[in-house]
Structures are given as C-alpha cells and as structure tokens.
Amino acid sequence: MPKMKTHKSSAKRFRVKKSGKVLRSKANKSHILTKKTEKRKRNLRKAATVDSTDMKRVRRALPYAF
C-alpha cells in the first residue's frame, strides 16, 4: 500500500500538540485593522483549538500528524 499524502496547505495552517489537540490561527487579522480595537487585535494573535466537529476532516488531511 502506498503512503498517504499530507494535504500541504493544511499542514501549514494547523499544529498538533502532544495532547492531540490541534491549534489553528484566528481569522480577521489580515486587513481593515484600523476599526478593530486593540483588545480585539491582541486576542486575534492567540492560537485557538480546532472544534471537535472539524477534527475528522483535519485528521484526514494530516494522516501522519497524530
């Protein structure tokens, strides 16, 4: 059986922690930042975890990360 291919754009977007949780970056941080408050922009810097409903898709895209 051949190796499974990693979805490369997903590999660049997600990081897997040792606990098995998957980290993602938050949206709305690329442009139109002047109208957003400093607090909102500061919170957008932090990594968020992928929701459990999306984990099946992430696991399929990153077969060797888990």
The torsion defined by the Cα of 64, 4, 9 and 66, in degrees rounded to 10, comes to: -20
**What domains sit in the chain, N to C, each tagged with a CATH number?**
8-61 (4.10.410.60)
User: Using alpha carbons only, what angle is made at residue 16 by residues 11 and 20, rounded to the nearest 5 degrees?
Assistant: 140
E strand map for 1-66: 14-16, 22-24, 48-49
CA 61 to chain centre: 12
Give, for all 66 residues of the chain, the pLDDT tens digit: 899 999 999 999 999 999 999 999 999 999 999 999 999 999 999 999 999 999 999 999 999 998
Tokens of 39: 């607090």
Stated pTM of the model: 0.84
